[in-house]
Amino acid sequence: MFIGHYGPALAAPRLVGSVPLWALFVSVQFIDVVWGVLVLAGIEQVRVEPGFTQMSPLDLHHMPYTHSLPGALALSLLAGGLYWLIAARERLAGAALIAAASFSHWLGDLLVHVPDLALWPGGPMAGLGLGTICPPHWRLK
Ligand SMILES: [Zn+2]
């Protein structure tokens, strides 16, 4: 799905022409960039489990801040807010577009991830697992 996240970034410049493509590219990966930082800091966790899915051996078992629904919404608003601070024109429309592009990351992950996306802290996990084979213990009950 990594490359799939760029689809919204490529389509978005038609909506607000002043938003540069580089900003959209950064925004659609913003959640994963923060995830990488939090994994390196030991705050979120991932483990390598060979055969976890056909697509990836990564078991993303603890990512409550970046890939939970409220976390993704908050990070998307942060991305939009950061853009609003640096934008020269069409600030509000551009910030909204950047926030939407950032949140599209979570929607894309929802399609392809096994159920490892918390809908709220301590809540049920979501993920349709399209394009992967989900081990039975990850399937929604
Ligand atoms: Zn992600």
- Is 17 in a helix, a strand, or coil? coil
How far, in Å, is the centroid of ligand 1 from the Cα of 90? 28
pLDDT digits (tens, 9 = 90+) for 99-131: 999 999 999 999 999 999 999 988 999 999 886
pLDDT in tens, 58-86: 999 999 999 999 999 999 999 999 999 99
Residue 67 CA to ligand 1 center (angstroms) comes to 6
User: How many Å lie between the centroid of ligand 1 and the Cα of residue 109?
Assistant: 6
User: Which residues are 48's β-sheet partners?
Assistant: 58
User: Per-residue pLDDT averaged across 49-55, rounded?
Assistant: 83
**CA 19 – ligand 1 centroid, Å:** 22
pLDDT of residue 139: 54
Q: Which residues contact 107 (CB under 8 A, 6 or more apart)?
A: none
Distance (Å) from CA 86 to ligand 1 centroid: 25
